[in-house]
Amino acid sequence: MATLSVNVDHVATVRQARLAKEPDPVTAALMAELAGADGITIHLREDRRHIQDRDLSILRKTAKTRLNLEMAATPEMLGIALEVKPDMVTIVPEKRAELTTEGGLDVTTKVEAAKLKEFVTSLKEAGIPVNLFIDPALEAVKASHRIAADGVEIHTGTYADADINADNGERRCGEFKRVHEAALLAHKLKLKVHAGHGLDYSNIKAVAAIPEITEFAIGYSIVSRAIYVGIEAAVTEMKRLIG
């Protein structure tokens, strides 16, 4: 069964809306672990719109499972990662104006691939495993392998956004096929295969049935559900669907 890493960014989003002390993403992360989460994911953005340096520092000391730090490939973030040493790093693209991550990294152009390879090498030399957040494209998987990443996180946002009732579900099926083929190739190349973005309680089951995917990073839908039913129930239900 694939594992579940719970992203608590949007607990911090609510906190930062009032620049208050609550709700605390650190507390939410610990409650998620008690409910069965296999890991915790946080994205320390350059503009600090939700997760703060304080959150990362405390979670590094208190998380009982695996702490996955999502971050952009910048000198500032490299320094933070090398100091904090999370259990793993997922490199993601970042735009200041975006509401949420809009797609995978540019890993196929020579210039960007060279920058990422240098960045990945620095993290791996410090003993930190590195995943690259990529679109479900075969060339992106191959490029990630050439960059020498430990694994990939396949962007499932386009699959999740496809209307299952439109055009007889052809677009949703096509996007699922892309995710599946990317997972198969990544597994064949001996990359760790994770997936995430846009996954919720209504669309997770099909993707969770792809055996090559070993972990899902899910945040927004779990935090949203937790508002109604609490973190324990929200995490437990997502774990059940993944299983």
In contact, 77 and 104? CB cutoff 8 Å = no
Q: Which of 180, 187, 194, 197 is catalytic?
A: 197
Task: Give the three-state DSSP class for 241.
Answer: helix
* Cα gap 104→94, rounded to integer Å: 10
Catalytic residue among 33, 70, 94, 212: 70
With contact defined as beta carbons under 8 Å apart, do 113 and 107 qualify?
A: yes
> For the chain, what is the largest distance between any 2 Cα atoms, rounded to a whole number of angstroms?
50
Show the tokens assigned to 240.
Answer: 């059940």
Q: 55: which residues sit within 8 A by CB, 6+ positions away?
A: 12, 25, 26, 42
Q: Exposed, middle or buried, 58 (CB in 10 Å: 0-12/13-18/19+)? A: middle
For residue 223, what are its two tokens? 């935090």
Q: Can you tell me which residue has the tokens 């709700």?
A: 23
Instruction: Determine the residue type at 91.
Output: I
- 125 in the Ramachandran plot: left (φ > 0), alpha (ψ -120 to 50) or beta? alpha
- Has 70 been annotated as catalytic? yes
43 as an active site residue: the answer is yes
Active-site residue, from 43, 145, 187, 194: 43
At 126, is the secondary structure helix, strand, or coil?
coil
By annotation, the residues acting in catalysis are: 43, 70, 197
